[in-house]
A and B are shown apart, each in its own frame.
Chain A
């Protein structure tokens, strides 16, 4: 069964903290994504990785960085968390060929106080 696992369902962090969100997929997918989802704005792409150590900025990369040292793991880093980064964060993965269907993790609800 296809699986994308995010390390936490709920997270509360303080302003200024460095925050790590981890995502692991077991499908040997080349592509991995980080989105944030806010009411009325839908899913907005933060970063996209199409291979190990390869990354591309999405629509809203400011305040975020990513790391992809291994194919199965894609980490999102909030360098200095701010209250406007309070959101639902969704990780997804997809194959580079074939159906391109994206499989999502269950999401991490991050609150920055």
Chain B
């Protein structure tokens, strides 16, 4: 079983709509969680950290559910520029970062 699993998508989202997707992780001792964004042919970059109480960064909301071992990302008022692959990242131990395979989001006009 993979340590971090994501729905690969693609999620086709009309501009202005809301999209949400989850990521599950297998290691209950995981300490910290992140969402990264990767554009085509580019390296991944941090989108936001995920805190236990949930957190927002503009149109992006991240949630953590430790009991069920999943994290989620919600994007409101989607923009064309939000089209990308979103990578779920889990810090399993000693700063070791495990990535999910990514969820592709395509925002259409």
Residues of A within 8 A of B (CB): 30-31, 33, 35, 40-45, 48, 50, 56, 58-59, 90, 92, 94, 96, 99-102, 104-107
Q: Among residues 2 to 59 in chain B, which have CB atoms less than 8 Å away from a CB atom of chain A?
A: 3, 6, 8, 32, 34, 36, 43-46, 49
Q: Is the CB of A42 within 8 A of B100?
A: yes
Residues of B within 8 A of A (CB): 3, 6, 8, 32, 34, 36, 43-46, 49, 87, 89, 91, 94-102
Interchain Cβ contacts within 8 Å, total number: 57
Prevailing SS type, chain B contact patch: strand
A31 vs B32: C-alpha distance when bound (angstroms): 15
24 interchain pairs (CB within 8 A)?
A30-B95, A40-B8, A40-B101, A42-B6, A42-B102, A43-B87, A43-B99, A45-B98, A48-B96, A50-B94, A50-B95, A56-B94, A58-B96, A59-B98, A94-B97, A100-B95, A101-B34, A101-B46, A102-B36, A102-B97, A104-B44, A104-B45, A105-B43, A106-B43
Interface-centre pick from A50, A56, A101, A102 (highest chain B CB count, 10 A) = A102
Q: Is the CB of B96 within 8 A of A43?
A: no
**Nearest Cβ in chain B — how far from A40, in angstroms?**
7
A32 vs B102: C-alpha distance when bound (angstroms): 21
Q: Given A104-B43, A105-B43, A106-B43, are A45 and B96 neighbors across the interface (CB < 8 Å)?
A: yes
